[in-house]
A and B are shown apart, each in its own frame.
Chain A
Amino acid sequence: MSIAPSNPLLLRQLQPFVVGTADNVGCFDMQPFGLRVEDTHVFDPLRLASAPFLDRLCALDAAAFGPEGMPMPRWIFLDGGELTGGVVGFGLAADALPAPWREALCVPDDHVGLVPVSMYIAIPTAESGAWVGHNLSSLAARVRDPALRGLGSLTKAVALRLLRTRTQIGAAQWDSPALRVHARLGALEVISAWTPAHGKPWTVTYRARIDEPALLHLARDPRGAVDFPAPSLWLASDDHAAMGMLQDRIEAGERFRFAGRPEPLEGGGQRIPLAEG
């Protein structure tokens, strides 16, 4: 099946890329939703020629998360994603970059070839088809441009398809706008609601079952659909005490799922609908 995101500019303007070792790329679906990944847009992190493009991935990470975010040390890009799994995203030729995009991404004047504007980094697990998604970056987080609307969602959907994902595990802060993207996959199961193992304990660890309607919904394709249960409680994204209580209930054996997408609150933050069971 093809994919038709509600913002048609994305696929008209941008081209998919993959970073992965030759062994890993051989396991991927290199025509996700019928999109073709050009051979020149496949980058092996163990090859010298990939270095300029990988530099640009670091720049994208820095631009997307900003100085207040969690920029990833360069070696963690390699050890934590490029070697074990893959990086999938969209880019645009350097000579076609609009000036504000070029500036936000700190693209050097002499850079030629593809410049990444979004990426999804995923690490495999021991369960076949189950991946941990650990970074979703989009230039749309930094540059307000209608041409980029929905880029993060589309990137994640295409990446999950390309990686042949059946289950996705992820971690995000309860107050992160990215949670609205992740929740487009449907009724995410909450694995942890308060996570001291993370640098930011107000992190939710979730698990999503992946199927085609959910991926299309994630990509904002009108043909996509997901089901949510009716909400039985709402969690405010700044209510750490409630997160701790939720965690206690999870550790006691109760289960919770997302019952919809987070709703932004006036004055900042968001509230998240949840359902028991």
Chain B
Amino acid sequence: MLSDARALEGLSPYLVATPALQARLTERPLGLAVPRGHCFDPTRRASAPFLSRLEQLDQVVSGPLAMAMPRWAFYDCAELPGLVCGFASSAGSVPERLREVWPLEARNGPVPLSMCMAVPMLQRDRWLAYVLCDLHEALPGATPPPLRIPSLALACDLTGARRMQGVTQWSSSKLAALASFAPLSLRAAWVPAHSVPATCVVEFDAGAAAIADALAAPQRELAARPRWLDVGDPSALEMLQRELEAGAEPSILGAPRRRGGSRVVPLSPEAWEPA
């Protein structure tokens, strides 16, 4: 299913989930075997070193944004109810620069280079992906190619979700990874409940065809002439939120891009008329 297997050369998927959940998941996500040594039960002691590496990965990527997760939240909010998955390298083949920035406590075992957290939602076959990161984001050039899209695809396929929700900041590069699954139905555009109100909540088709499309052509041409949303403009985001609450059903059609000095996102044209 992966179109560019070279991107993942030397990497293997990993999975953190309770045995009860592991038994429900797809056995060969994206057609890849998850090596036995890359499956971790968070309630077992032997998993601790790998879980520490996940925490380190989160610190490297999210720490500078003041959004690193406390270790207890990894456990309570992801590992117990849902899963953490991504791609890992063997400790021996981690690039040297990465070792300098991210000292490893051990010299063996898998080292996670990307991470996606997914938690089941109340509606059957719907999951929430709420942490999606890779080391390429924090250390461009020092690591393998970007792994967020394959990691999100891995989560979609593992869970068998038909619909996946995602949460991200409008300014985050994570939005481009989510947009590989476009169109994204917008559920919220301005979220005061979040530490960063300029956050969006989206939902998308996570079935096999959507996964294949996302992996094959993450940056698709826009089929329709979009309306462009300036995501650096809080008043525009809040206005869009009010439209949503009034019943509008806009979609994000593709990845963010630069226009002039602004970062803009293409929305479905019928979605939004500025006042």
A134 B201 Cβ-Cβ under 8 A: no
A197 B48 Cβ-Cβ under 8 A: yes
For B192, give its contact among A54, A76, A126 (CB under 8 Å).
A54
- With an 8 A cutoff between CB atoms, is A47 at the interface? yes
**Residues of A with C-beta under 8 A to B242:** 48
Q: A121 CA to B42 CA in the complex, in Å?
A: 21
**Residues of B with C-beta under 8 A to A195:** 43, 75
**Residues of A with C-beta under 8 A to B144:** none
A171 B195 Cβ-Cβ under 8 A: no
Count A-B contacts at CB 8 Å: 148
**Residues of A with C-beta under 8 A to B78:** 80
Q: Which residue of A lies closest to B121 (CB)?
A: A84
For B80, give its contact among A51, A78, A199, A205 (CB under 8 Å).
A205
Taken residue by residue from 63 to 105, chain B's Cβ proximity to chain A (1 for < 8 Å, 0 otherwise) reads as 0000101111111111111100000000000000000000000
**Residues of B with C-beta under 8 A to A251:** 44-45
- With an 8 A cutoff between CB atoms, is B111 at the interface? no
For B73, give its contact among A24, A27, A80, A200 (CB under 8 Å).
A80
A73-108 with Cβ < 8 A to chain B: 73-85
A80 B122 Cβ-Cβ under 8 A: no
**Residues of B with C-beta under 8 A to A81:** 77
B51 A196 Cβ-Cβ under 8 A: yes
B195 A47 Cβ-Cβ under 8 A: no
Q: A195 CA to B43 CA in the complex, in Å?
A: 6
Q: A81 CA to B188 CA in the complex, in Å?
A: 16
B119 A73 Cβ-Cβ under 8 A: no
Known: A84-B121, A199-B70. A247 touches B45 (CB 8 A): yes
Q: Which residue of A lies closest to B68 (CB)?
A: A73
For B167, give its contact among A27, A78, A135, A171 (CB under 8 Å).
A78
**Residues of B with C-beta under 8 A to A75:** 67, 194-196, 199
Q: A247 CA to B237 CA in the complex, in Å?
A: 50
A51 B70 Cβ-Cβ under 8 A: no
Known: A46-B191, A78-B193, A79-B130. A171 touches B80 (CB 8 A): yes
A171 B76 Cβ-Cβ under 8 A: yes
**Residues of A with C-beta under 8 A to B77:** 76, 79-81, 123, 134
Q: Closest CB of chain B to A54's CB: distance in Å?
A: 5
Bin the interface of chain B by size.
35 or more
- With an 8 A cutoff between CB atoms, is B170 at the interface? no
Q: Which residue of A lies closest to B48 (CB)?
A: A196
A72 B73 Cβ-Cβ under 8 A: yes
Q: Closest CB of chain B to A177's CB: distance in Å?
A: 17
**Residues of B with C-beta under 8 A to A132:** 76, 80-81
Q: A123 CA to B73 CA in the complex, in Å?
A: 12
A48 B122 Cβ-Cβ under 8 A: no
- With an 8 A cutoff between CB atoms, is A125 at the interface? yes
For B201, give its contact among A46, A127, A131, A196 (CB under 8 Å).
A46
**Residues of B with C-beta under 8 A to A6:** none
Residue contacts A-B, CB under 8 angstroms, 20 given: A46-B188, A46-B193, A47-B245, A48-B241, A54-B193, A70-B70, A79-B130, A79-B131, A83-B201, A84-B121, A123-B77, A127-B20, A132-B81, A171-B75, A192-B43, A195-B75, A197-B47, A197-B48, A197-B51, A199-B71
* Chain B residues proximal to chain A, CB less than 8 Å: 20-21, 24, 42-45, 47-48, 51, 67, 69-82, 119-123, 128, 130-131, 165, 167, 187-188, 190-196, 199, 201, 238, 241-242, 245
| Sample of 15 further A-B pairs with CB below 8 A, known A78-B191, A197-B74 | A48-B242, A72-B73, A78-B194, A80-B77, A80-B130, A83-B121, A84-B81, A123-B81, A123-B82, A125-B80, A127-B20, A134-B80, A191-B43, A192-B44, A198-B76
